[in-house]
Amino acid sequence: MKNIRTITKNHEPNSKAAAWKPTRRVFLKTSGLFIAGLAAGAPLAYANATGRSPKLRFGMVTDPHFADIEAIGTRHYRESVAKMTECAALMNEKKVDFLIELGDLKDQGNPPSEKDTLTYLDTIEQAFKQFKGPRYHVLGNHDMDSLSKQQFLNGIENTNIAKEASFYSFDVKGLHFIVLDANYNADDSDYDHGNFNWADSNVPRQQLDWLRRDLESSSKPVIVFIHQQLDGEGDLTVRNAAEVRQILQESAKVLAVFQGHNHEGHYSHIEGIHYYTLKAMVEGTGEENNSYAIVDVYDEQTIAVTGYRRAASRKMEKSTTQQM
């Protein structure tokens, strides 16, 4: 792989880009450079400290779109390995309870190649695995470029989740987390080897029924993760988003929904639920154009998002319409 930046201790890019090879020796060398930069105390975060200890803390990142291809427009695909390495190092330092990736982990070449795409997936997953705690993935539309869902799921690891599960839930420290999969065509068929229109994403009936049952089965406050947007309108939004939101609202348990897909980021508050869209990792060149976040959840169910690099910070209060 070529022309990927490394980081010096003062967080300035080297004058000459390192020739990137997908070997363990070079990967660990670059990981060490990022860790050194973080240890130097560079001012990465832009949120005010609350002075309180959170009940739970997790990290999130979205849209790395890694592929061993030249940049196209503002998308610098190769740099996502180094950016993900920086993210994982900080999450280890902050000892978050888990790290979740919100979709479009990898991309594909032109022309598409299943073999190459599997290599891209393995490379970026190895960077993600530098985080030494529980890890989770959300499926994004580009994760099914050149691959089937099962091929993608076989290439990643969701901690204590069945390999075949593209949507699932888990509990951590008194909160219930739900991961949804909107990568279905209008006829409820799976996205598969690029057989889809990215602007036509859907949560099928079977998954909606599962979502209702899962919400009913838990008495805990809920946080939801999905790749495509559930708020707003247009191509970036799930086609039956209103129906999904209605299920979430009726439960009176959902505190927030965290999303990817919209590379510019977004925020809205609908019927007592916060919808926060994280900015994409792939956008822009250099460490200053990275994007990831830490989410703190407090006892009174206030949520504080601390954005790093380009990611936006936000404090989100619990709605009085939700159950205690």
Per-residue pLDDT at 198: 84
Q: What is the tens place of the pLDDT at every residue in 199-251? A: 899 999 999 999 999 999 999 999 999 999 999 888 999 999 999 999 999 99
**Strand blocks (E) in 53-153:** 56-61, 98-101, 135-137
Say whether pLDDT at 43 is over 60: no
Mean pLDDT on 268-289? 97
For residue 232, the model assigns a pLDDT of 80
Please name the residues in contact with 74: beta carbons below 8 A apart, sequence gap of 6 or more.
283, 284
Phi/psi region, residue 234 (left: phi>0; alpha: psi -120 to 50; beta: rest), is left
Cα 202 to Cα 53: distance, rounded to the nearest angstrom? 38
Lowest mean pLDDT: which of 19-28, 82-91, 291-300? 19-28
Do residues 256 and 302 lie in contact, with contact meaning Cβ atoms separated by under 8 Å?
A: no
The CA-CA-CA angle for residues 36, 40, 44, to 5°, reads: 100
Across the beta sheet with 303-309, the strand order is 135-137, 98-101, 56-61, 291-297, 303-309, 314-316
Q: What is the structure's pLDDT at 319?
A: 74
Weakest-pLDDT range from 25-29, 90-94, 96-100, 151-155 = 25-29
What confidence category does residue 39 fall into, taking pLDDT thresholds of 50, 70 and 90?
very low
Give yes or no for a cis peptide into 221 (omega within 30° of 0). Answer: no
What confidence score (pLDDT) does residue 38 get?
Answer: 44
How confident is the model over 131-160, as pLDDT tens digits?
Answer: 999 999 999 999 999 999 999 999 999 999
pTM score: 0.85
202 and 196 Cβ atoms separated by less than 8 Å: no
- pLDDT of 182-204, one tens digit each? 999 999 999 999 998 888 999 99
Nearest CA to 102 among 58, 146, 132?
58
Contact 99, 135 (CB under 8 A): yes
Mean pLDDT score, 102-107:
98
The structural domains of the chain, ordered by start, are 50-316 (3.60.21.10)
